[in-house]
Homo-oligomer: A and B are copies of this chain.
Amino acid sequence: MGNSCEGFFGPQKNTNVRVSLPAVCFVWQIAMIILFGVFIRYDEESDAHWAEHKKSHNISSDIENDFYFRYPSFQDVHVMIFVGFGFLMTFLKRYSFGGVGFNFLIASFGLQWALLMQGWFHSLDPVTGKIYIGVENIINADFCCAGCLIAYGALLGKVSPVQLMVVTLFGITLFAVEENIILYLLHCRDSGGSMVIHAFGGYYGLAISWVLYRPNLHLSKRLSGSVYHSDVFAMIGTLFLWMFWPSFNSAISDHGDGQHRAAINTYLALAASVLTTVALSSMSQKRGKLDMVHIQNATLAGGVAMGTAAEFMITPYGSLIVGFCCGIISTFGYLFITPFLENSLKLQDTCGIHNLHAMPGMLGGFVGAIVAAAATESVYSKEGLINTFDFEGKFAGRSVGTQGGYQAAGTCVAIAFGLVGGAIVGFILKFPIWGDPSDDNCYDDEAYWEVPEDEETIPPVLEYNNHMIHKHQDIAESNFSVEQS
């Protein structure tokens, strides 16, 4: 269907990306190689000089290498990025290839660009002019991709892979800048990225989608829903995101109690989100039936909202309260806000990232601000307070109240970067050169994928039908001829 150049409603757009997609992939990948050659080197823990480093720093055992503190969490984060986000986006009946496949493509590009961008901003050695990378950097690169994958959720089915590469290029760049402002200039804490990942990524995607509004998207309505098995595939994504979110929020927290506490808090918040999502989903439907869209998405809101506060002493019941509220808010969003955005604000948000990332991320930023402002030495211990908020160097002596204020300011910075950056990127994507699909050709893998014919799904009874039809045809025709004669 996507092959024919004429749709029902006039000529279809040309979705041919045979020149642009290979060109972008090749040129950008070659650029990555050159830039990596100039800038990127192993850090002292992944370099063969580690044996010397160990001696000179009096490190007694290889197990003290940061690899063993963070690599298991890295792998969990990696699964979230590729299987979690990827399969969550397979829910559409005929866009599973695009959901999981383009997610794969843009994350693979994004992580390379992120290593460079984050390196230039945070870890460029002023003497050697090199960026030294280790396991924490590759976790951060994955995090950086997450922002762009969230934005993809709003655009799912409506853009070409070339457009997605552009979204990723600018998204990673904007991410590195806002992250630098929030984490280094404002000295916010945001180990799980409520602000820098979710609020930014959410509003970035929403702004792009708002600019790319398609008034006739209803022409693709036939493909905008799920089928039974695509919903089960999407649950793979949901569950791997849900299960590994404790690793996401704790992956780059402080060694020891920081990582430990971040994992426990996230674990609890997510559990509470599931119960309130189920409750609200059931209340909203006839006969109390659950809606898969809510279960696939809103159950994750607790993890998003704990991104900032997970490493703080929010207390276990505080985590439950955050999860409780966010499950409700997110489900409420799917029920009422998404339709409102689409109808009133002309904002089409395929996966509902407003409800899962933008809103809970923003809330998570403010929760973090409040919890930071409420910190006391008796709860954290003197040393614990300094460690947790990193009140060292030029930030030694900052009060927790001030910290809370900066945390709130950081949230606003993330949102502003998302909205403004997304609007600009959206306008760039409006140029008619990107091979995006026409309004009646969205949500369809046919446009960018060789799709196998599903002839084998014809059940035996059909063959029988065919047989019977031909038989009737014979009978009917014989009747017809008899009568004619």
Contacts and interface: CB of A to CB of B under 8 A. Distances in A.
Nearest to A261: B46
Interface in A87-141: 87, 90, 93-94, 96-97, 100-101, 104-105, 108-109, 111-112, 133-135, 138
A410 B42 CA distance: 28
A449 interface: yes
A274 B26 contact: no
Contacts of A279: 21-22, 25-26, 29
A225 B455 CA distance: 11
Contacts of A286: 18
The copy count of this chain in the complex is 3
Contact of A320 (B36, B71, B271, B292): B36
Contacts of A54: 256
A282 B21 contact: yes
Contact of A235 (B32, B100, B244): B100
Interface of A, secondary structure class, is helix
A398 interface: no
A220 interface: no
Interface stretch (A185-193, A343-351, A422-430, A475-483): A475-483
A122 B412 CA distance: 45
B282 A46 contact: no
Given A48-B379, A71-B263, A75-B76, A240 B83 contact: yes
Nearest to A483: B482
Contact of A449 (B259, B290, B454): B290
B275 A42 contact: no
Contacts of A394: none
B278 A105 contact: yes
Contacts of A235: 86, 100-101
A168 B270 CA distance: 18
Contacts of A339: none
Given A16-B287, A257-B50, A278 B25 contact: yes
Contact of A69 (B68, B255, B291, B455): B68
A180 interface: no
Given A32-B320, A231-B452, A317-B40, A68 B68 contact: yes
21 contacts: A22-B279, A29-B320, A33-B317, A34-B317, A36-B320, A45-B257, A46-B260, A48-B381, A51-B384, A63-B68, A65-B255, A71-B72, A82-B242, A94-B228, A97-B232, A111-B267, A289-B447, A461-B462, A462-B465, A465-B466, A482-B483
